[in-house]
């Protein structure tokens, strides 16, 4: 009887923008340790995928990682596995970029390890039916997705074994189903339990293939795993058990499993793993989904109906988080421009740095949110924006401002993108607002903020953080990240009424204050905050955005004229006209911006002539009669200055979101807010204010 082949794959990844100490700890407590333990068992062979951002960082700081992998690859123990080099979601980027990502990874693996990778690690296992054609063109022979993908296609075998062929436009690739049982058992159950599970598979399906492929961070980085995997010896005990059972069980990489014929043909629907599809749903839909699934589970029918209970699509994150959509669509726009100037060379290793930066900014982690982190980490978003801006800055720029009008974010409205030699400004018709404020020389996105929004877990004060497991899936080791419980909410979450962007129009009474605005309980007297403005270009360096609406029930009109006469400078004239005097209401223009660190001494406000005050970015306060103020980042050497006429009262406050981390709910700084306001004039139907923003 042929031995059972356990296809074993490890996926090691860290996103661009992660903190140096986090990367260092990950390499020393996980990535190097796992290789050393596997090296003690040379007969156990496996596939290893290491993402491009991690490879780049380790090449500079831990070159011994590449040396270890190359040695293990040369003796046939490790199969280095390909993928998109910067770990993009392939269906979310242009075809040209997807091919460039895959080819760059293949070239890098050949340079580092002397291997031509035919396998591909599919980031977050996000599958779409047209992918086989793309993968085949890129030289990919096989990949792996969760077994749930196969169940969605109608397969019922438990556990799922073998591998299948799928195709698009007659371009075929092999697809391996990753066992969900093994994903949850390894490394959380005792090796003897896992051996018994595999023995049952072998007896039921003699000579078959079963696939395990999952995050390498489970071997040392996930909470509690370092002590369990290394100090208590789980990994050595597991590999020892594999060796002891070698008469019927063999650990192999994906390429070796391909020596056996495919189990059959299949067409997989658009899907990702179960948890990801849940997270991509709107918050309210997640709660309904969990309620339905819980009801079915209590009735003992979950396994029967699981293939028909599924969440949304990965791309739904672009709707759930418009900040993610803006990053993605800005990336696509810059990618088109860069490809025209820097086409991909025949040798991917000779790719221009501008092209690499486009690909870097496609690293998926900052584009979504699930169990923890993701888009809520401003350092990850900053890395995406910085790479994009560096790519854009490498392109030829006109000495005079260039105004483009097109639907950048694909929402049905033409946005306005204005480029000069040192800055990019982006305007949205909804609210007549500024959504992009980019400093090219310093690669900084001032607009990189995040809205405070409802998340499903805000309504689950106690209990499992993520998709729960069945009772029979209890384990012997540390809790999986899907089981980690979190503390209840220490405070009531506050949700923003709209996006955190700039030049937002507020009309409010004299009783309002900072606390009411930050608590989202102020009374808005106008309907301009989210109203759609008309836009027209009035000169080569000027646009006008205007809207008729209501203020305190009266007809009114707001006109904003944005001018771009000097590089790095935006001059705005805002005119409010009403059918009757609006006093004692106030008009406010709201701004949202970030210098990333809330309390670092080198990130601060400047209010000339206003004396001493708490000037850090997390400070809250109000200052009257302000004609000029600025924010300054001495670490990056960048700043933004406001010039105001007539002088305004300025309120400022930090913006914190409440999101889930590995073990608890925590407040995360996303940026700062400033409101410039003026009283409407007594006996006057109009108010005109001038605000000039200048890059420092």
The residue annotated as part of the active site, out of 137, 215, 344, 643, is: 215
Radius of gyration of the chain measured on its C-alpha atoms = 28
Q: What is the C-alpha to C-alpha distance for residues 23 and 32, in angstroms, rounded to an integer?
A: 12
674 SS3 class = strand
CB 548 within 8 A of CB 557: yes
Cis peptide before 265 (omega within 30 of 0): no
The residue annotated as part of the active site, out of 56, 66, 124, 566, is: 124
**Helix, strand, coil percent values for the chain (each to nearest 5):** 30, 30, 40
392 is catalytic: no
Q: What is the C-alpha to C-alpha distance for residues 43 and 240, in angstroms, rounded to an integer?
A: 11
- Could you tell me the sign of the dihedral formed by the alpha carbons of 67, 73, 76, 80, in that order? positive
- 3-state secondary structure string across 249-267: EEEECHHHHCCCCCCEECC
CB 36 within 8 A of CB 47: no
Nearest to 630 by CA among 567, 600, 672: 672
247 is catalytic: no
Angle at 310 between CA 304 and CA 316, to 5 degrees: 175
CA distance to 11, 56, 112, 259, 581, per residue, from 65 (Å): 14, 11, 11, 29, 71
- 3-state secondary structure string across 374-415: HHHCHHHHHHHHHHHHHHHHCCCCCCCCEEEEECCCCCCCCE
Nearest to 663 by CA among 229, 280, 365, 222: 222
Q: Which helix (H) or strand (E) holds 70?
A: helix 64-74
Q: What is the C-alpha to C-alpha distance for residues 353 and 385, in angstroms, rounded to an integer?
A: 15
CB 102 within 8 A of CB 122: no
Cis peptide before 159 (omega within 30 of 0): yes
Q: What is the C-alpha to C-alpha distance for residues 542 and 491, in angstroms, rounded to an integer?
A: 45
- Relative orientation angle of helices 32-39 and 234-244, to the nearest 10 degrees: 30
Q: Which helix (H) or strand (E) holds 298?
A: helix 283-298
Terminus-to-terminus CA distance in the chain, angstroms?
73
Catalytic site positions: 124, 215
């Amino acid at each position: 009887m042929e031995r059972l082949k356990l296809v074993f794959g490890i996926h090691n990844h860290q996103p661009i923008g992660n903190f140096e100490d986090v990367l260092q700890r990950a390499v020393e407590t996980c990535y190097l340790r796992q290789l050393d333990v596997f090296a003690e068992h040379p007969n156990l062979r496996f596939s290893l995928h290491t993402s491009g951002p991690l490879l780049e960082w380790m090449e500079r700081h831990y070159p011994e990682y590449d040396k270890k992998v190359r040695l293990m690859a040369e003796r046939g123990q490790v199969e280095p596995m390909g993928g998109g080099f910067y770990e993009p979601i392939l269906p979310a980027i242009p075809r040209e970029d997807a091919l460039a990502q895959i080819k760059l990874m293949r070239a890098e693996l050949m340079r580092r390890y002397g291997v031509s990778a035919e396998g591909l690690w599919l980031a977050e296992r996000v599958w779409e039916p047209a992918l086989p054609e793309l993968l085949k063109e890129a030289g990919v022979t096989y990949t792996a997705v969760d077994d749930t993908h196969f169940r969605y296609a109608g397969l019922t075998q438990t556990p799922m074994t073998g591998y299948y062929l799928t195709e698009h436009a007659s371009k075929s690739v092999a697809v391996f189903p990753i066992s969900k049982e093994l994903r949850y058992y390894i490394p959380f159950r005792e090796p003897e339990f896992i051996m018994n599970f595999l023995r049952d598979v072998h007896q039921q399906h003699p000579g078959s293939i079963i696939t395990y492929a999952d995050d390498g961070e489970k071997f040392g980085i996930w909470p509690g795993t370092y002590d369990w995997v290394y100090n208590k010896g789980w990994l050595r005990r597991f590999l020892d058990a594999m060796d002891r059972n070698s008469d019927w069980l063999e650990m192999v990489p994906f390429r070796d499993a391909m020596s056996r014929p495919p189990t059959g043909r299949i067409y997989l629907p658009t899907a990702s793993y179960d948890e990801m599809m849940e997270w991509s749903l709107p918050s309210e839909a997640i709660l309904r989904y969990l309620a339905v699934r819980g009801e079915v589970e209590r009735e003992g029918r979950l396994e029967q109906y699981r293939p028909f209970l599924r969440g949304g699509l990965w791309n739904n994150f672009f709707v759930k988080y418009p900040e993610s959509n803006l990053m993605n669509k800005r990336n696509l726009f810059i990618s088109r421009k860069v490809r025209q100037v820097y086409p991909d060379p025949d040798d991917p290793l000779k790719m221009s740095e501008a092209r690499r930066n486009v690909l870097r900014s496609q690293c998926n982690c900052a584009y979504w949110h699930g169990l923890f982190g993701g888009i809520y980490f401003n350092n990850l978003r900053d890395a995406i924006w910085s790479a994009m801006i560096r790519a854009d800055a490498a392109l030829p720029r006109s000495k005079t401002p260039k105004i483009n009008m097109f639907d950048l974010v694909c929402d049905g409205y033409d946005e306005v993108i204005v480029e000069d030699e040192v800055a990019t400004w982006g305007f949205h018709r909804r609210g007549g607002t500024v959504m992009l404020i980019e400093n090219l020389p310093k690669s900084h996105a001032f607009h990189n903020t995040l809205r405070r929004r409802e998340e499903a877990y805000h309504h689950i004060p106690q209990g499992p953080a993520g998709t729960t497991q069945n009772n029979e899936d209890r384990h012997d080791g540390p809790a999986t990240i899907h089981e980690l419980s979190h503390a209840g909410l220490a405070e009531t979450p506050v949700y923003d009424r709209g996006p955190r962007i700039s030049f937002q129009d507020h009309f409010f009474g004299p009783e309002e204050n900072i606390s009411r605005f930050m608590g989202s309980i102020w009374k808005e007297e106008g309907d301009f905050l989210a109203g759609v403005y008309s836009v027209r270009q009035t000169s080569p360096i000027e646009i006008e955005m205007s809207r008729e609406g209501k203020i305190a029930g009266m007809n009114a009109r707001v006109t904003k004229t944005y001018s771009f006469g000097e590089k790095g400078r935006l001059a705005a004239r805002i005119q409010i006209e009403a059918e009757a005097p609006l006093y004692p209401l106030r008009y406010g223009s709201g701004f949202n911006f970030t210098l990333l660190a809330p309390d670092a001494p080198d990130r601060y406000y400047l209010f000339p002539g206003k004396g001493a005050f708490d000037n850090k970015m997390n400070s809250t306060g109000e200052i009257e009669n302000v004609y000029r103020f600025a924010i300054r980042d001495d670490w990056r050497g960048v700043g933004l200055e406001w010039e105001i006429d007539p002088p305004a009262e300025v309120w400022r406050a930090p913006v914190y979101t409440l999101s889930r981390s590995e073990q608890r709910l925590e407040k995360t700084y996303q940026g700062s807010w400033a409101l410039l306001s003026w009283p409407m004039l007594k006996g006057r139907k109009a108010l005109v204010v001038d605000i000039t923003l200048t890059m420092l």
